[in-house]
Amino acid sequence: MIKPYLVIALFALLYLNCDAQQRKIIDVHFHTRSAGDYGTPPPPNPVTGKTPDAGTNDAIFRGNFALLKKYNIVKAICSGTLLRNADFISKDPGRFISSLEYPDHQDNPLPDTATFRKLIQEKKFTVFGELGLQYDGKTLDQPEFEPYIAICERYGVPIAIHMGLGPPETPYHGFPNFTVSSGSPFYLEPVLKKHPRLKLQIMHMGYPYIEETKAILYMYPQVYADISVIDWALPKEEFYQYLRAVITAGHEKQIMYGSDQMIWEDAIPLSIKTVEAAPFLNEQQKQDIFYNNAARFYGIK
Ligand SMILES: [Zn+2]
């Protein structure tokens, strides 16, 4: 005869397993890359060493799409060119949300403000980002961005900005104006003071600016942070320590999962597994990070 506690344990195990598999995920930092964006052939994933099958736009889409479906990533905020975003959206309109990346990998200029407003009105994009201003040594509080920020605030378009670091030796390889210091979240404060209704997402959780990130998340609770890149490219213990510091500071409802898979789609499973395995996260916190917080921030029903 099977002991009752064994039956209970078995059901509990099945339930937990089912829960993890069925977990709904929103990836708030997903890129719609084109073939050649990272050179031909593209470099291998710096962590896994796997070279992506990125010879054509179609191959890039297929590789990413299969993983999004496998891991139940029901929404992905697509950062890329509007043309490439439209291509992804045409293949699964319910899953992808268009975000205007700037600067992008095709060297498209920022549209003038009239065109920018029109594109928002036509819903060609509903998020403005990834803003990689740091790669140009620029910051969001510079006057040239002010009219765009005002439009975003008025239309409820969230701004998602790269903050923190970039790959080692970035200033020596194509981005001579890059500075570490321009990645500080403190540059967001003048913008937040001027635009109290603006929705702002700090990408990469501002790593390694932990004090600055905590200060901004505390003072401006409308600001959320994504854990992209640091959830797969950093040494695991370093990521866990950083994530834990933001959680113990009380900001677990402002943290969102993101992959930032760039050209390496294997970053998607890698980052999900790292978060799932975090020993200090309880189930509610995982659900919040993977889905609930992003659903609230982006108004996803
Ligand atoms: Zn970034």
Q: Please, are residues 30 and 261 in contact by the beta-carbon 8 Å criterion?
A: yes
Please list, in sequence order, all residues whose beta carbon lies within 8 angstroms of the beta carbon of residue 108, skipping any fewer than 6 positions away.
81, 102
Q: Please, are residues 187 and 209 in contact by the beta-carbon 8 Å criterion?
A: no
Task: Average the pLDDT over 60-73 and give the result.
Answer: 96
Q: What is the pLDDT of residue 151?
A: 98
CA of 163 to the centre of ligand 1 (A): 7
Indicate the range of 30-44, 109-123, 149-163, 235-249 predicted with least confidence.
30-44
Give, in degrees to the nearest 5, the angle at Cα 109 between 134 and 146.
60
Residue 21: pLDDT band with limits 50, 70, 90: low
Indicate the range of 48-57, 106-115, 163-172 predicted with least confidence.
48-57
Please list, in sequence order, all residues whose beta carbon lies within 8 angstroms of the beta carbon of residue 238, skipping any fewer than 6 positions away.
none
- Phi (first) and psi of residue 76, to 5 degrees: -135, 125
CA of 263 to the centre of ligand 1 (A): 13
Quickly count: other Cβ atoms within 10 Å of residue 200's Cβ: 25
CA of 78 to the centre of ligand 1 (A): 13
Task: Average the pLDDT over 272-284 and give the result.
Answer: 98
CA of 285 to the centre of ligand 1 (A): 24
Please list, in sequence order, all residues whose beta carbon lies within 8 angstroms of the beta carbon of residue 35, skipping any fewer than 6 positions away.
54, 55, 56, 57, 59, 60
Residue 269: pLDDT band with limits 50, 70, 90: very high
CA of 204 to the centre of ligand 1 (A): 7
Q: What is the pLDDT of residue 109?
A: 95
Residue percentage of the chain with pLDDT more than 70? 93
Task: Average the pLDDT over 229-258 and give the result.
Answer: 98
CA of 173 to the centre of ligand 1 (A): 16
Residue 53: pLDDT band with limits 50, 70, 90: confident
Kindly report, residue by residue over 175-227, the tens digit of the pLDDT: 999 999 999 999 999 999 999 999 999 999 999 999 999 999 999 999 999 99
User: Does residue 290 carry a pLDDT above 60?
Assistant: yes
User: Does residue 60 carry a pLDDT above 80?
Assistant: yes
Indicate the range of 53-67, 139-153, 221-235, 269-283 predicted with least confidence.
53-67
DSSP state of 288: I
Task: Average the pLDDT over 102-125 and give the result.
Answer: 96
- Residues paired with residue 224 on neighbouring β-strands, in sequence order: 201
User: Does residue 262 carry a pLDDT above 90?
Assistant: yes
CA of 214 to the centre of ligand 1 (A): 19
CA of 134 to the centre of ligand 1 (A): 9
Reduce the secondary structure of 209-251 to three states and give it as a string: CHHHHHHHHHHCCCEEEECCCCCCCCCHHHHHHHHHHHHHCCC
User: Does residue 20 carry a pLDDT above 70?
Assistant: no
CA of 130 to the centre of ligand 1 (A): 7
Greatest Cα pair distance in the chain:
75
CA of 177 to the centre of ligand 1 (A): 16
User: Does residue 8 carry a pLDDT above 50?
Assistant: no
State the CATH architecture for 28-298.
Alpha-Beta Barrel (3.20)
Task: Sort residue 123 into left (φ over 0), alpha (ψ -120 to 50) or beta.
Answer: left
CA of 54 to the centre of ligand 1 (A): 20
Task: Average the pLDDT over 113-117 and give the result.
Answer: 98
Give the mean pLDDT of the chain.
93
Closest among 85, 128, 86, 131 to 104, alpha carbons compared: 131
